[in-house]
Every structure is written in structure tokens, then in C-alpha cells.
Structure 1
Amino acid sequence: MDYRLQVVTLSVGDVDRAAAFYIRRAGFTLDVDYHPAPGFRVVQLTPPGSSCSVQIGVGLTDAAPGSARATYLAVTDIEAAHRELTERGVEISAIRHKSPIDDWKGDWRPGTDPERRDYASLADFADPDGNAWAIQEIGFRPSQAAGGAEPHHTEPREGMTR
């Protein structure tokens, strides 16, 4: 039996402002904007290439606007994703990587992981309400970008699956 994640609900203060951010800045696709009655509206948006969507709206959740933390988007080329989001006007952190990757008590270092290891490189941004997102590189292939190291696939740790 497959249990596929289909949608994640984010709480926002202004649905139109948030939808505009996700469509125009983050590049998400608008799937539906359903407003059948006063006090209820659901806007479903899907990140490029994703089979999971996010929904924002009115009457969906009692969570405080901007309360989502650490929602991850997996990308195969973090430098290209960072460049694309920056060009679209998203305020995104500098790319950083975990070093050493095997010790989560270790430091974060600036830039993309030199070995382009899975799960090592991240950058963060937030929507206008403060819902926090991270982009994380998984599955980099040197043919995707000029130069680059051979990919290193970190085996999942106990309790993690890929």
C-alpha cells in the first residue's frame, strides 16, 4: 500500500498576497481557487515537478499565519534553483553546506557542498507571512551544470528512507 503525501496546508494572513507570491515568485502552478461560500476558500498550488501540493485559504486551519517551519523542496541543482528564485524576486539565504555531513553537531559552511553530496546543501526562504521553506540538493548530476563533482549519495541513516 502506497501512502503518497498529496497536500500540505499552510496558514496565511492574506490569501491573494500569498497566492501571488507562490505563483509569481516561487513559480508554483495554480491548481484550483475554490470559494464556494463566505468564510471558506481553498487555493491549491503545486511546486514545479512535484506530486505534492500546498493549500492556502480561509477556513482551512486554526494555525497562526506563518507558523510552518522547515518545509523542504528537493532540487537536483541547488545553484540553478537559487539563481531562478533570486531572479524571480524571492529573498533567499545564501547556499550553505553541512561539514562534516556525518556529524550534525558540525558546522555549516558557505556555498554548495564541494562533493555535491545528497542532503548536504541548503538555502532558505519564507513566504510573505513567514512560512519557512528550505531547498535541499538531492541527486545532482554533473551534466546538469558546467563543471561539478561526481555525485555522492549518502545512504539513509537508521530510521530514514529514500
Structure 2
Amino acid sequence: MDMKLELVMVPVTDVDRAKEFYVRAGFHADHDQTVSEEVRFVQLTPPGSACSIAVGRGLTGMEPGSLDNLQMVIADSDASYADLVARGVEVSEVDPQPWGRFVHFSDPDGNQWHLQELPDWSTSAGGDGVSPA
């Protein structure tokens, strides 16, 4: 049985502000639908991702800013850092770790994102799957 993660709800206080932030960060705005006075659904997809996020009204009971470890894999942390800075996103310096190089940022509500450049040995990065000792 296959299971594919396709949509993650991201709790926010201001839907328009969140949508503007994510579009500025490079996400594609797929849908913006007001279903009723209680429900608005905005779907955004990171570039190259098969999984989208949704921000809106009436979508989740989570507190705005409560997601503290949304992680995406990137090809080049230096290029991603430079791109986000050029887009006006406040982002951390590149953080090198033995398990990858990271760039961190938060949305206006404090939901935290971690972008991971996988180490060369990672099979997901095209490596042979053998960790250096």
C-alpha cells in the first residue's frame, strides 16, 4: 500500500499575510478559496515539491506558530540561503552538521522551517548510502 503525504496544514493568524510571505519565499499559490465565512483554504506548494501546505481559516485546531520543525530537502544550502535573502526572507546563516547543511527560517507566526542539504553519502542525494566513518 502506497501512502503519499500531499498536504500539511500550517496554523496562522493572518491568512493574507501568510500567503504573501510564502509566495515571497518562492511557494506557488495553487488555490485561494473562500468556502464560507468560517472557512478559507489557501494551498501553496514549495518549488519542486509533491507536498503542499495549506493556510487559512477554519482548517485546523492547532495554535498559530505551533509547528516547530517543518523540514524540506534542498540541493544547495548556499544557493537556497542566497535566494531567500534576495526575496526578503529573514533566514539563518548556513548551519553545517554531520547529517547535512541547514538553513532555518520562520513564517510571520513563528512556524519554523528547516531546509536540509543532504550529505553526499545520502542515497536521497544520489550517494551510495554508506556514511563516512
Normalization by structure 2: what TM-score? 0.89
**What stretches of structure 1 move > 2 A for 4+ residues in a row?**
151-157
Aligned CA RMSD, in angstroms, stands at: 1.7
The answer to whether the aligner puts 1:125 opposite 2:94 as a matched pair is no
Gaps of 5+ in 2: 124-128
Distance 1:134 1:156 in 2: 24
The alpha-carbon deviation at position 152 of structure 1 amounts to 3.0
Aligned sequence identity (%): 43
The answer to whether the aligner puts 1:134 opposite 2:114 as a matched pair is yes
Output aligned runs, 1:1-162, within 5 Å.
Answer: 1-24=1-24, 26-98=25-97, 101=98, 119-138=99-118, 151-153=120-122, 155=129
Normalization by structure 1: what TM-score? 0.73
Distance 1:8 1:156 in 2: 31
Letter in 1 for 2:66: S
Distance 1:54 1:75 in 2: 17
Cα deviation digits, residues 49-71 of structure 1 (max 9, x gap): 00000001000111111111110
Size of the aligned set, in residue pairs, is: 126
Cα deviation digits, residues 74-101 of structure 1 (max 9, x gap): 1011110110001001100111112xx3
Letter in 2 for 1:87: A
Distance 2:30 2:118 in 1: 26
The alpha-carbon deviation at position 5 of structure 1 amounts to 0.4
